[in-house]
Amino acid sequence: MKLSMIRQRCLGDEFAMFKQLKASGFDGIDLSMEPFFDRGSDFLGGIDNWTDEAIKNYFTDLKEKADSVGIKIFQIHSAFDGHPRYYSSEEEIIKRIECSIKACHYLGSQHCVTHPIIDVRRKYDVMEEETFPAVIDLYKKLIPCLEEYDVYCCIENMWNVDTVFGHICPTIFSRAKEMVKACEILGDRFKICVDVGHGLLTQDDPVEMVRICGDKLVCLHVHDNDGLCDLHTIPFAHRQAPEGMVWKPLAMDWTALMKALKEIGYKGVLNFEVVIPGPKEIVPAGMDYLAAVGRYLSDIYENA
């Protein structure tokens, strides 16, 4: 399997990241659009000047820089985090996602991971019938842009916070069946990104999620956590709950995950959404180690 990971911002600009990825043994990157479109009015002249020409020029140049060191942009994150309260209007949300779709195209990728609208009231299965249609309606508005730029919108399993009990809980698209249902309604331009760490947090076994999603699964966000917080740590960092813990969080069976991916015929990349800890001087060493973990997991997949 090809190996990919998210950008480590402490390393500097994108070109510095591309070079370090290659040096560490990665094949590509998962590039988030948030840092670009949240740089303020100086980036592309501000939101009113995010024209197709400006996006084409900027991201075509960025792709050439990645190509020059042998790094491929396998997938991107759209510039919408799922929480509408942070944006001025639905029009702004749609524009940010559509600009991300265009950037995805000019970066040479076809997979744009786009969060659903996360209604703060949608916890567990409460308000399922009320929140699902709003998400579908937003995604439908993206179809013309997706078709024009030959990009697939990849929906991701998410989480919310139970403020009463003080822990993370399921929300919209935490369940694989709900994501599959959305794809069936929306059509061929919609695929699935399974976030392994999010599955652990909502007690939705990522192995079973992979099997349920089947051929609709085209992207991965691979990272580990303690089942309590969205830590984005390296796989195998958290193996089991402490002794005596009343509620034991779900622990990841990495071998089972790789075998499940082989079982469904997954052809995508092994993409790590991991934040390497520590000062920037030691982040490259952490990336080297993560690449070694990737090769280990890839071998399990290849030999399954």
Over residues 93-117, the pLDDT tens digits come to 999 999 999 999 999 999 999 999 9
Tell me: pLDDT of 20 over 60: yes
Cα separation values, 221 from 21, 184, 209, Å: 17, 22, 13
> Confidence band (pLDDT; 50, 70, 90) for 40?
low
Query: 3-class SS at 98?
Result: helix
CA distance linking residue 186 with residue 26, whole number of Å:
33
Tell me: pLDDT of 125 over 90: no
The residue among 107, 94, 118 whose CA lies nearest residue 30 is: 107
pLDDT, tens digit (0-9, with 9 covering 90-100), for 267-289: 999 999 999 998 999 999 999 99
What are the boundaries of each domain within the chain? 3-303
What's the pLDDT score for residue 246? Answer: 62
Give the chain's end-to-end CA distance (angstroms, integer).
13
CA distance linking residue 273 with residue 5, whole number of Å:
6
Q: What does the pLDDT average to over 68-75?
A: 98
Decide: residue 30, CB within 10 A, 0-12 exposed, 13-18 middle, 19+ buried.
Answer: buried
- The amino acid that residue 142 corresponds to is L
Decide: residue 237, CB within 10 A, 0-12 exposed, 13-18 middle, 19+ buried.
Answer: middle
Quickly count: other Cβ atoms within 10 Å of residue 143's Cβ. Answer: 15
Instruction: Give the whole-number percent of the chain exceeding pLDDT 70.
Output: 95
CA distance linking residue 123 with residue 139, whole number of Å:
21
DSSP H helices, the chain, are 14-24, 34-37, 52-68, 90-106, 128-140, 143-149, 176-186, 196-201, 206-213, 254-263, 283-303
CA distance linking residue 8 with residue 20, whole number of Å:
10
Least confident of 40-54, 62-76, 127-141, 219-233: 40-54
Residues 43/36, Cβ–Cβ less than 8 Å: yes
Give DSSP secondary structure letters for 131-175: HHHHHHHHHHTTHHHHHHHT-EEEEE--EEEETTTTEEEE-TT-S
CA distance linking residue 231 with residue 150, whole number of Å:
33
Bridge partners, 191 (sequence order): 154
Q: Locate tokens 């799922």: which residue?
A: 82
CA distance linking residue 271 with residue 3, whole number of Å:
6
CATH number for the region 3-303 comes to 3.20.20.150
Q: What does the pLDDT average to over 164-192?
A: 96
CA distance linking residue 257 with residue 274, whole number of Å:
17
The residue among 268, 279, 283, 200 whose CA lies nearest residue 235 is: 200
| pTM, entire model | 0.94
Q: What does the pLDDT average to over 192-220?
A: 97
> Confidence band (pLDDT; 50, 70, 90) for 38?
confident
Nearest-Å Rg of the Cα atoms of the chain is 19
